[in-house]
C-alpha cells in the first residue's frame, strides 16, 4: 500500500459538481453582492449547491449527517466507496472548488457562520443545545479590538460578574455580520491584566445588540464587500450569567484556538481557490484573444500559468496535510502554520499576475478580475496573517532544536 495525495473518485466527482455550482451560481451574483455590499440569502444559490454544508461546518457533523448534506451522494456511494470521512480533509478538498467561481457564496451554507463551531468546541451541553441547532442562523465572532487583532491576549473589553449577570464594557471593531447576525460570540476579559488567562467567551444575542452603541455600521473596505463589518461599543451591557461559554472557568482563548485549529487548514485554501478560478478565467479570456498575442508572450504566459497552478497546488497539499493530521488526532499546529503562511501570498501573486496578463480590460468592472484582486487580499488576514504563521513556525522550530 502506498500513500495517496488524490481525492477519492467519489470526492473528486463531488468536487466537480461543487465547481460547477461555484462557476454558475456563485459567480452569477458576485457583482451584485460586491456592489450592494450585502450578504443576501439567495435561495437559488443555496438550493443549487450540491453541498448543504460549508467547509467550516464539516467538523460539526457526524458521518451520517454529512451524507444528508451532500445531496448528490447516496448512502450507497459512501458505503461502497471511499469518501474522505476525515471532516478536515474533506473540507479542504471541498474548499478548493467552492471559491473558484467566486468566494462569497459558500458562507451561506450551514456551518459557514463561524460561531456555531466555537460554541460546539467549548460550550456546555446546554449551551450547545440552545445555540447550535439545525436551523440556519447567521452568527458572528467578535474578537478584534482596535489595539488587539491577532494578539488576543491584549483584549480590553471587560466582563464583570454581577449576581446572575455579566456586565460588559468596551469596543469591538471590524466584526463581520455583527449587525445582521442572530447571535455573536464575543471575547472579553474577566481579569484585566491577566492576559490570555483572563479572556472568556460570551454569547450576545440580537436583543443585546440593540442595546450597544453602533460606532461604525459598515466599514468601507477593499474586498469581501458582501460581508458587512461593523464596530460597536458596549456600555454596561447586562447579559445572563449562563452566556459565558463553557462556564466561568473555561478560557475563551482555548475555544478560539480550537476554532482556529479546526478551520485554519480549510481557510488556507480560500485564497488559492480564488486564484485557481482566476487562472481558469484568464486562460479562457486569452483563448478568445490568442491572435492578439505574440507567440513569445503567449508561451511565456502559459508557462507562467503552469507555474501558478503548481504553486497553488503546493499550498493546497500543505493544507491537506494539516487537515489530515487533525483528522488523525495529531497536532497540526506546525503543519497548518506552514500552509497558512504561504497559501494566501501565493494566491495574491497569481491574481495580480492574471490582472496584468489581461491588461487594462482586467481592471474594469466588466469582469470580476478587479474584484478578485480586491478579495484575495482579504484571505491572508482570516484566522491569522502569514507573518504570525511564520512566527509560529519559527517558534516551533526553535523549540524543537533547542531541546
Partner 1 sequence: MFDLEMDEVSRAITDTGREIALGPVDRAAFAADREQSIDEACVNAVHEFGFTCPTSEAVGGSGLPSAFQQMLALEALGYGDPGVVGVLTLSSAAALVIGSCGTAAQQERWLSGVADRTRAVVPLALYESFGRAPEDFETAIVAEGAGRWRVRGRKVGVALGESGPAHVLVIGRDPGSGRLRAAFVATGDPGVSLAHEVDPAASQGFLALSQARFATVDVDVVVAADDLLGGGDDVADALGVAVARTRLLPAAISLGGANRAREYATKYAIEREAFGSSIFEFQGVSFPLANNQIQLDAARLSLWKAASELDAGAARAPASVSAAVNECHAAATTATRDAIQTLGGHGFLADHPVERWYRCAAMLSSLDSDPLFTRFEAAV
Can you give the binding site for partner 1, defined by CB under 8 A? Answer: 144, 147-151, 153-154, 173-174, 219-223, 289, 292-294, 296-297, 300-301, 304, 307-308, 311, 342, 345-346, 348-350, 352-353, 355-366, 370, 373-374, 377-378, 380-381, 385-388, 390-391, 394
User: Residue 167 or 388: which CB sits closer to partner 1?
Assistant: 388
User: Residue 53 or 357: which CB sits closer to partner 1?
Assistant: 357
State the minimum distance, in angstroms, from the CB of residue 255 to partner 1.
20
User: Residue 211 or 289: which CB sits closer to partner 1?
Assistant: 289
State the minimum distance, in angstroms, from the CB of residue 400 to partner 1.
19
User: Residue 160 or 388: which CB sits closer to partner 1?
Assistant: 388
* Non-local CB neighbours of 185 within 8 Å, separated by 6+ positions: 115, 118, 119, 139, 140, 141, 142, 201, 202, 203, 204, 245, 255
State the minimum distance, in angstroms, from the CB of residue 382 to partner 1.
10
Collapsing DSSP states into helix, strand and coil, what is residue 205?
Answer: strand
State the minimum distance, in angstroms, from the CB of residue 230 to partner 1.
12
User: Residue 7 or 384: which CB sits closer to partner 1?
Assistant: 384
3-state secondary structure 139-181: EEEECCECCECCCHHHCCCEEEEECCEEEEEEEEEEEECCCCC
Got the DSSP string for 36-101?
Answer: HT-----HHHHHH-SBSS-GGGGGG--HHHHHHHBTT--HHHHHHS-----HHHHHHHHHHHHTTS
User: Residue 128 or 179: which CB sits closer to partner 1?
Assistant: 179
CA distance 201 to 260: 14
State the minimum distance, in angstroms, from the CB of residue 42 to partner 1.
23
Burial class (CB in 10 A: 0-12, 13-18, 19+), 85: middle
Collapsing DSSP states into helix, strand and coil, what is residue 199?
Answer: strand
Axis crossing angle, helix 87-98 with helix 252-268, rounded to the nearest 10: 50
CA distance 146 to 156: 10
User: Residue 63 or 151: which CB sits closer to partner 1?
Assistant: 151
Axis crossing angle, helix 295-327 with helix 87-98, rounded to the nearest 10: 160
User: Residue 7 or 362: which CB sits closer to partner 1?
Assistant: 362
State the minimum distance, in angstroms, from the CB of residue 249 to partner 1.
26
- Backbone φ, ψ for residue 38 (5° rounding): -145, 175
CA atoms lying within 13 Å on the CB side of residue 291: 1
State the minimum distance, in angstroms, from the CB of residue 194 to partner 1.
14
State the minimum distance, in angstroms, from the CB of residue 69 to partner 1.
31
Amino acid at each position: 500500500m502506498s500513500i495517496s495525495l488524490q481525492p477519492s473518485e467519489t470526492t473528486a466527482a463531488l468536487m466537480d459538481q461543487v465547481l460547477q455550482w461555484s462557476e454558475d451560481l456563485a459567480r452569477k451574483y458576485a457583482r451584485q453582492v460586491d456592489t450592494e455590499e450585502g450578504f443576501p440569502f439567495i435561495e437559488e444559490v443555496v438550493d443549487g449547491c450540491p453541498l448543504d454544508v460549508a467547509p467550516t461546518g464539516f467538523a460539526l457533523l457526524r458521518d451520517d449527517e454529512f451524507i444528508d448534506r451532500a445531496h448528490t451522494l447516496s448512502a450507497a456511494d459512501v458505503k461502497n466507496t471511499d469518501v474522505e470521512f476525515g471532516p478536515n480533509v474533506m473540507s479542504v478538498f471541498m474548499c478548493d472548488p467552492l471559491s473558484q467561481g467566486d468566494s462569497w457564496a459558500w458562507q451561506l451554507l450551514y456551518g459557514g457562520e463561524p460561531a456555531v463551531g466555537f460554541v460546539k468546541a467549548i460550550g456546555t451541553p446546554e449551551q450547545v443545545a440552545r445555540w447550535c441547532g439545525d436551523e440556519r442562523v447567521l452568527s458572528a465572532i467578535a474578537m478584534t479590538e482596535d489595539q488587539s487583532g491577532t494578539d488576543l491576549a491584549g483584549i480590553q473589553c471587560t466582563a464583570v460578574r454581577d449576581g446572575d449577570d455579566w456586565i460588559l464594557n468596551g469596543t469591538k471593531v471590524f466584526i463581520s455580520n455583527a449587525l445582521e447576525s442572530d447571535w455573536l460570540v464575543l471575547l472579553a476579559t474577566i481579569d484585566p491584566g491577566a492576559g490570555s488567562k483572563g479572556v472568556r467567551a460570551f454569547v450576545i444575542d440580537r436583543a443585546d445588540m440593540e442595546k450597544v452603541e453602533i460606532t461604525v455600521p459598515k466599514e468601507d473596505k477593499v474586498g469581501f464587500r458582501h460581508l458587512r463589518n461593523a464596530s460597536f461599543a458596549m456600555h454596561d451591557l447586562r447579559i445572563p450569567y449562563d452566556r459565558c461559554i463553557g462556564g466561568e472557568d473555561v478560557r475563551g482563548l482555548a475555544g478560539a484556538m480550537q476554532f482556529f485549529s479546526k478551520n485554519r487548514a480549510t481557510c488556507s485554501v480560500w485564497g488559492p481557490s480564488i486564484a485557481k478560478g482566476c487562472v481558469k478565467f484568464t486562460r479562457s479570456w486569452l483563448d478568445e484573444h490568442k491572435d492578439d498575442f505574440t507567440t513569445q508572450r503567449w508561451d511565456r504566459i502559459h508557462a507562467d500559468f503552469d507555474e501558478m497552478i503548481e504553486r497553488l497546488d503546493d499550498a493546497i497539499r500543505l493544507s491537506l496535510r494539516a487537515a489530515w493530521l487533525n483528522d488523525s488526532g495529531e497536532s497540526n499546529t506546525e503543519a497548518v502554520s506552514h500552509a497558512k503562511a504561504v497559501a494566501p501570498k501565493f494566491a495574491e501573486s497569481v491574481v495580480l499576475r492574471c490582472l496584468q496578463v489581461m491588461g487594462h480590460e482586467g481592471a474594469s468592472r466588466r469582469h470580476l478580475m478587479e474584484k478578485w484582486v480586491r478579495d484575495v487580499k482579504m484571505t491572508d488576514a482570516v484566522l491569522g496573517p502569514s507573518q504570525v504563521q511564520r512566527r509560529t513556525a519559527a517558534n516551533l522550530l526553535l523549540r524543537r532544536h533547542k531541546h
